[in-house]
Amino acid sequence: MRDLVRPLGGWSTPAGRGYILLAVMTLAFGFALNTSTTVTTNYFTDVLHFTGPQFGYITAIREVPGFLLIVVTALLYRMSQQRLTALALAVFAVGLAGFVLATGFWSVVPWVVLGSLGFHTVMQTQYALGMNLTEESRSGRVLGVMAGITQAGALVGMGAVFFVFLKWPQLYHEVFIACAVIALLGGVAIFGFPHLHEGRPLRVQMPRQRMVLARDYRYYYVLSVLDGARQQLFFSFGLWVLVSHFGMGVSGISLVVIVSTVVAMAFSPWAGRMIDRRGERWTLSAINVAYIVALGGYALMDNLWLACAFYVLYSFIAPFSPIGAATYLRKIAVPQDIAPSLAMGVTLMHATAIVVPVVAGVILNFVGYQVPFFIGCGFALVAALVTLRLDPRRQRSAARAALDDAAAGATADEAAGCQAVGA
């Protein structure tokens, strides 16, 4: 728990101030995103009367902005990461508020797209901002702490949803408006985030590339594609199965997600430390094996309590795949490539995320609900095999290797100079 409250370098440093501002933004974003997501499935079912295939279609539509994220970041590459994040949170808030105007499938689509553009941008930029707070060897720990803070925000919001919907089961519009307001407050907080690199202040904003697609980063891209396909399958149909197949209401769904959130909040800092300590290859391999267990169990066990247990397991480990992939990217890329490469990873992630839920939604018309989860097991198995090939030291880009050699040479010269002075 001490990792949740100890900023790097102390509270009074620029890194400490950035830590606080990012934590506030992360808390607000976690509240807004997870609270709205908790009620969206029931809102689509109870108010907009979606069918099973329509959940697949709306999920695919929602992922289109993620697929186009590389275009957005390329157009706005001169904008700092903190200001881009603030703008994205404002767009996300507008999308959430627009949900209250929807009356059916097509009328909710524009607001889904707008909200998706906002939250997908934030999901990419918050990793870049978090890694700027610290040196490379502590990246996993910082991102793990921020994941825990995200879950804390989600816990507050979902706890409120649980108790509110026990008494007022149709209070959807008010929940969406509240989430929009909280998202705007997060945007205000992150606007003041300082310019940092490796936890040290920058006098001049570090330039970044418009767009990066490099062979050196191929394993990061492959992991992003596989992660996106598996993730969208589960989050398209995981809650839908609990609602439609097992008949759970808003309060029941909220309770399941609250349990998932408590577990994730408690163990996220530990998971981040494991990535730093054991490395991405070991950690991501173990995580993908756990995905196979969770998805396979969700498909095979036709029991409400077991389904809830596997949902909790999957939801707990889901945030750590992108964290591990991001820390791997940081170890092999030069600093100016990291943010656009993260954006490219999100774009590639959604290339499959757009197609897979639609195909799975069509399949649901002819076969049981288990098929999407078996497909997800296949993606997790391939990802586990890919992670066994990760070796950040050997897989550094040529530019990164040259940068590291130059830094090592400068350190050696400085040490030699100090010895000469001492002599």
Domain limits of the chain?
Answer: 7-193+213-409
Torsion angle defined by CA atoms of residues 308, 311, 317 and 320, in that order, rounded to the nearest 10 degrees: -140
Please give the pLDDT value at position 3: 46
Beta bridge partners of 196: 201
Distance (Å, whole) CA 323 – CA 389: 18
- Contact indicator for 109, 101 with CB cutoff of 8 Å: no
Distance (Å, whole) CA 142 – CA 163: 32
Residue 35 backbone dihedrals phi, psi, to 5 degrees: -65, -45
Judged on CB neighbours under 10 Å (0-12, 13-18, 19+), 404 is: middle
Residue 98 token pair: 């627009």
> For residues 367-377, b (16+ Cβ closer than 10 Å) or e, as one string?
eebbbbbebbb
Fold of the CATH domain 7-193+213-409:
Growth Hormone; Chain: A; (1.20.1250)
Please give the pLDDT value at position 11: 64
pLDDT in tens, 173-203: 999 999 999 999 999 999 988 888 776 776 6
Distance (Å, whole) CA 392 – CA 395: 5
pLDDT in tens, 349-362: 877 766 776 677 67
The residue-averaged pLDDT of 137-145 equals: 86
Nearest CA-CA partner of 42 in 276, 227, 253: 253
Distance (Å, whole) CA 86 – CA 193: 10
Please give the pLDDT value at position 1: 43
